[in-house]
Amino acid sequence: MFILFPNAKQVACFDTSWHQTMNQKAFLYATPYSWYKDYHIRKYGFHGLSYAYITKRTAIILNKNIEDLNLIILHLGNGASINAVQKGRSYDTSMGLTPLEGLVMGTRSGDIDPTIIPLMSKILKKTTKQIENILNKESGMLGISCKSNDLRDIWIESNNNEYNSKLAVEIMTYRIKKYIGSYLAALDFNIDAIIFTAGIGTSDYEIRKLSLQGFEKIGIKIDFQKNNLAIDKNTEYDISSNQSNIKILVIPTNEELTILEDTYDLIKDN
């Protein structure tokens, strides 16, 4: 690239940089502190470009200053994570040192007991690297459904009452609900909006409904009719009920625009 365009500015935009504002209580693992100090073992988080865009866009939609916003954002695609935003900055996120931690994803397991790795390495007579590969590429919705990592295929089987496909949806949405609940508590139940984004988040009304099921008891209420109509991946929607204490939004992400804006900010004065 440098040879082809020797005078061009080269800019790197990291998906982890958005999460630099996390406090140590959120990003440190309860492992020996020397692991962090000497080897930088900590939660870094991902999907930061997406979260940065959604936070800016939500501020415009709600007509609020970014620094006044408290949000829970769900980036739900084949890779999936959730971000708690406090005062317009990343406060906590579900992905960790790698994208394997957190929610159940298309082929990633999300949270597991780490001792499963050496145990299955011994049982299956595979290396830990091979087990890691299984957890990244053969687990999640694919692993539970035994059929596909594509939620559209899983829904077809689930609607035909196929056991493993139904179970995959239940496990996925149960994990999402647990994270939403924990981030509500982490933000002292003081939030302005819950936002769904990315491929599944913007198109799958059933996943949105199941993910928020039960939260109406604390005033977070979805409008089912609005939700069912919110299926265009390129359109923004407000799917909250008139009785909801907070806004529930569906906003398509635009990571490329975030990269463009960040790049412009870096090079405009040079």
Contact 209, 224 (CB under 8 A): yes
| Tokens linked to 70 | 């408290």
On whether 47 is known to bind a ligand per the annotation, the reply is no
Coil, helix or strand at residue 1: coil
CA–CA distance, 193 with 212 (Å, rounded to integer): 13
Flag whether 150 is marked binding.
yes
Strand bridging mode 237-238 / 247-250 = antiparallel
Angle at which helix 48-62 crosses helix 255-267, to 10 degrees, equals: 90
DSSP state string for 144-156: HHSS-S-HHHHHH
To the nearest 5 percent, what fractions of the chain are helix, strand and coil? Answer: 45, 10, 40
Return the closest-CA partner of residue 44 out of 91, 97, 103, 111: 97
- Tokens coding 226: 């609005």
Q: Is 79 annotated as a binding residue?
A: yes
96 is known to lie in a ligand binding site: no
Q: Identify whether 15 is a catalytic site residue.
A: yes
Task: Classify residue 209 as left (phi > 0), alpha (psi -120 to 50) or beta.
Answer: alpha
Determine whether the annotation assigns residue 19 to a binding site: no
As a whole number of angstroms, the distance between CA 211 and CA 189 comes to: 17
Find the radius of gyration of the CA atoms of the chain: 20
Tokens of 252: 């398509």
Q: Are 42 and 112 in contact (CB under 8 A)?
A: no
Binding residues: 75-79, 150-152, 255
Q: Tell me the binding residues for Mg(2+).
A: 255
- Could you list the active site residues? 15
Q: Which residues are annotated as a binding site for ATP?
A: 75-79, 150-152
